[in-house]
Amino acid sequence: MKIKLLYLALFVFQLIAVQAQVASLRCEYLTNPLGIDEPSPRFTWQIADSRPGAKQTVYQIVVGTDSADVANGHGNYWDTQKVNSDQMLVRYEGKKLVPFTKYYWRVLSWDNDQAMTSSAIVTFETGMMDVENWKGSWISDTYNFNAKAAPYFRKEFFLDKKVKSARAYIAVAGLYELTLNGKKVGNHRLDPMYTRFDRRNLYVTYDITNQLNEQENAVGVLLGNGWYNHQSTAVWYFDKAPWRARPKFCMDIRITYEDGSQETIGSGVDWKTALSPVIFNSIYTAEHYDARKEIDGWNMPGFDDSKWRTSMATGSPSKNIVSQTMVPVRNVKELSAKSMKKLDENTYLFDFGRNISGVTKITAKGEEGTTVRLKHAERLAENGYVDQSNIDVHYRPTDDSDPFQTDILILSGTKEDTFMPRFNYKGFQYVEVTSDNSIELTKESLKAYFMHSDVDSVGKIHSSNETLNKTWQAANSSYLSNLFGYPTDCPQREKNGWTGDAHINIETGLYNFDAITVYEKWMADHRDEQQPNGVLPSIIPTDGWGYEWGNGPDWTSTIAIIPWNVYLFYGDQKILEDNYDNIKRYVNHIDENWPSGITDWGLGDWVPVKSKTPKEFTSSVYYYVDALILAKTARLLEKNEDSKKYFALAEKIKNAINKKYLDREAGIYGTGLQTELSVALQWGIVPEEFIQKVAGNLAKRVKADNNHIDVGLLGTKAILNALSENGYADLAYNVASQEDYPSWGWWIVNGATTFYENWPLDANSDISMNHIMFGEINAWYYKALGGIFPDEDDPGFKNIILKPNFVSGLSHFEARHEGPYGTILSSWKKRGDKIEYKVTVPANSKATLYLSGKKISKDGVSLTKFSKVEVEAKADNQFLIKLDSGSHIFNIR
């Protein structure tokens, strides 16, 4: 009997083990989002099924306002019925969604055996959906945008019925911290995200049901300046932004009672206001806090606000108030100091062991009025004190009241004071804490918080080369340090959304992080900033700076390259639809002004090692890239006349570049520099019959440069890819793994934990120590060593292209990427004269694998035993192998 029960248990366990699961349900790429304004939101899901060949053949989506009905398979808003499709990205096409409504949805999925699996029930909730639905008024405390102290606002309200649910909707020009009954609402930082404030503003939605008291309640708002009221002065003139004003906000608290009735408590002139202990705040420099000015209980019910002033009604910053549908910025990781030393009687130095973006929190006690200064920096001077000379070069202070990256805390003298900036972030590793009266600090007195857009990690690599592993980690740290609702160049000196840095590193971002919501928001920023003639500025968002310098196709190709790559990685064409007209206007502008197909509009191969490629060459290549993406997008969107027109334009540009720059006899572009040759190869400029000759010349050029890079920003995107994708993978790895100057490894072996802005450690300019612009090597690890590519013809990794290179110098390498269908694994290990290669293809997807070897077996069976449908033999022991979902092991000799 026991044996029978054991077998039964094993049988049940096996059934459970292979049972498919519908998982990772998301709406608009968010889990159970609140405040959706999109009338046709997108639904995505995955199938967790490890069985070989597992796939979805039929799906059904049910959407409704009653969870019980949805649980029973009925939706009063949308029921797709059974759809014969393997699609797992579907746009809503049901009844018109209404504002302020919670919708329940689930997915039923049938596998290739027609077995059905149902997902759990998940939700999304609509927000305002229309600016006319706001009830509250925009309020502030003064028109004086030069006022320094941040304002408090408060409002008490009484609830006399039982609450079923409550939401807070808050739109702010500037930044805010929201509290309810004395406690902070949510865990976001620096909300709302930065936009072109006079053209688009974001609001955030919170579920505050559980923070409400049964009767007496108090809501509090603290406003910060952010980019809206930039009081610090620097070379970009944000202090003269056309939108600049004192921060303001509009808020609705919408309460639904158990009896079905509703009530909205909106912001208005009946709210009371007073100045806070935040006596100065700047998103660019720092924050100052006077603990003597703290107001106990200001955001609690029963507080006496009779001496507070009434709020002031003011106008909306724009007419376009939309939901912030994206992952927020958070304090993602807390760091303790690695060391602390006392430099003199009143100065301590804290070292956090790595370079980050974020803030510090200090706890200190001392005499009343003691001023504590926290100076943040990336490096130390020879005397052991912090050195900001590499990051304060663009700051133009008018006096000494706003020191760069230096928080100021004035102690209360009555207690232990704790201070963490609310409306600022910095880039730093070291913090120098100085006080004008002696205070005692310990290593635990200061904590650091790594802040960034809290995007999920979707990629990981590991290899036998520890420097390579650290390089990958450093690139990721720089990427995250420069992601704050938009991609930036550096978290200290500028915090600007430099376009060139972003498009160069779009693949690094997407291989490693689920960043689609950030990029979709940033492309909306592009649409806000584009001039009617198609021109874009070099930094986005902008106050107006950058239309006159630094833009051009080598930089502002973000308008085409980023949507195209998001489409390739996610298989979602919405971002192309949204930006199609903008790409078209941009390409048309270049065509009208440079009808020959050759343009010198741009910034060039920024910060090269030594050799400078002509700006005209690289700008013309990126013009070709833009035209080609536009043509492909037109074809995808079935705009046939446009498709023909722009394919012809792309061909015209390509021919013009080759006519001017290609020496057909020698097989070189220009003077044969690394950037010239690699950019031409990387972006498809080289005619088919010249590819091997040009690639060979690139290899010779690299060897002549002692197997080291001689490129700038644009060249770093191309150099490794051009080599590895054209038969020189070993050489590419040799270049990528160098550990002396100039190389990525040179930074790492010299202690870098993030990427630098310049190749020499002792450069005199362009010397930020947390810059993502040279980060393409990170994506190259996935592409060249892991061999993982999206398929343009079947995007979103529906079909995975696998082209691993088992390079000399590495004994093992593994890359993982969580694509829309699940985890892709590409892993190899050398064992003597044999290579073991492991692949995992997620359910409902497939792969095309390219391998070469004299003897190759798959799961123990020689490739010669497979049908031609599964394995296609090419020349020189090369094979094209079709793989279904599941795990596969290859042995290669």
687 prior amide bond cis, ω within 30: no
Q: Under a CB-based contact definition with an 8 Å cutoff, are residues 130 and 99 in contact?
A: yes
The two beta strands, 56-64 and 102-111, are: antiparallel
Contact 438, 345 (CB under 8 A): yes
Q: Compute the distance between CA of residue 858 and CA of residue 860 in angstroms, rounded to an integer.
A: 5
pLDDT of residue 69: 97
pLDDT of residue 866: 87
Q: What angle do CA 577, 578, 583 make, to 5 degrees?
A: 85
pLDDT of residue 871: 87
- Write out the E strands in 269-403: 272-275, 278-281, 287-290, 309-310, 312-313, 321-323, 329-336, 339-344, 347-364, 371-377, 379-380, 386-387
Burial of 400 (0-12, 13-18, 19+ CB in 10 A): exposed
- In this structure, how many other beta carbons lie within 10 angstroms of the beta carbon of residue 371? 15
3-state helix, strand, coil in the chain (%, to 5): 25, 30, 45
Residue 788 contacts residue 824 (beta carbons within 8 Å): yes
pLDDT at 4: 41
**Contact by Cβ (8 Å): 432, 377:** yes
What one-character-per-residue DSSP string does 80-115 give?
---EE----EEE--SSPP-TT-EEEEEEEEEETT--
CA–CA separation, 642 vs 629, rounded Å? 12
Q: What are phi and psi of 847, to 5 degrees?
A: -145, 150
Q: What is the pLDDT of residue 8?
A: 41
Q: Per the structure block, which two tokens stand in for 487?
A: 């991609």
Segments of the chain scoring below 70 in pLDDT: 1-18
The secondary structure of 167-179 as a DSSP string is: EEEEEEESEEEEE
Please give the pLDDT value at position 876.
80
Which pLDDT value is given to residue 820? Answer: 98
| CB contact at 8 A, 15 and 51 | no
Question: Per residue in 341-363, pLDDT tens?
Answer: 999 999 999 999 999 999 999 99
Q: What is the pTM of this model?
A: 0.97
